[in-house]
């Protein structure tokens, strides 16, 4: 389950993904896939940190941008990757996930994403001008 006290940029980013991708299993799959792929790319890029010391900063930055773009594309097609994992069972599992997600998981994710906390309350307070 998602921790009840998660705050910060990940939560804000996930809210945006949730809204843009329709707020369902596809949005969760996109966010999880992208996060996992970016973490793997970050580890691989960190192994190439020597490029920075060799004066190949442009190459390092370009590789990072290309990896992020590829990760975004891979995250968009995450359902196809699930189906390809185990051909008949992947498709069956994906259909079951799309059917069961709104019933069992969506309410909890939305409660976590859109819960009113102290930070949100103070950020959304409108100050009326004094006469």
Q: Which two tokens stand for residue 38?
A: 């970016």
The 8-class DSSP code of residue 37 comes to: H
CA distance 37 to 71: 6
Residue with tokens 């596809």: 26
- What's the burial of 11, exposed, middle or buried (CB within 10 Å: 0-12/13-18/19+)? middle
On whether residue 128 sits in a domain, the answer given is: no
Into how many domains does the chain fold? 1
On whether residue 44 sits in a domain, the answer given is: yes
23: left (phi over 0), alpha (psi -120 to 50) or beta: left
* Domain residue limits at 22: 9-113
On whether residue 24 sits in a domain, the answer given is: yes
- The tens digit of pLDDT for each residue in 3-24 reads 555 567 778 888 887 888 777 8
- The tens digit of pLDDT for each residue in 60-98 reads 788 889 999 999 999 999 999 999 988 889 999 999 999
On whether residue 75 sits in a domain, the answer given is: yes
- The tens digit of pLDDT for each residue in 19-64 reads 887 778 988 899 899 999 999 988 887 777 776 777 777 877 888 8
């Amino acid at each position: 389950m998602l921790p009840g006290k998660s705050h910060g940029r990940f939560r804000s980013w996930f809210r945006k993904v949730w809204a843009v991708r329709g707020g369902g299993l596809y949005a969760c799959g996109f966010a999880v896939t992208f996060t996992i792929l970016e973490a793997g790319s970050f580890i691989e890029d960190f192994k190439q940190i020597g490029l920075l010391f060799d004066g190949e900063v442009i190459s390092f930055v370009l590789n990072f941008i290309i990896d992020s773009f590829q990760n975004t594309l891979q995250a968009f097609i995450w359902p196809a990757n699930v189906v390809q994992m185990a051909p008949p069972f992947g498709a069956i599992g994906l259909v079951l996930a799309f059917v069961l997600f709104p019933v069992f998981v969506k309410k909890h994710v939305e409660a976590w994403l859109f819960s009113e906390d102290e930070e949100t309350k103070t950020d959304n307070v409108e100050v009326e001008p004094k006469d």
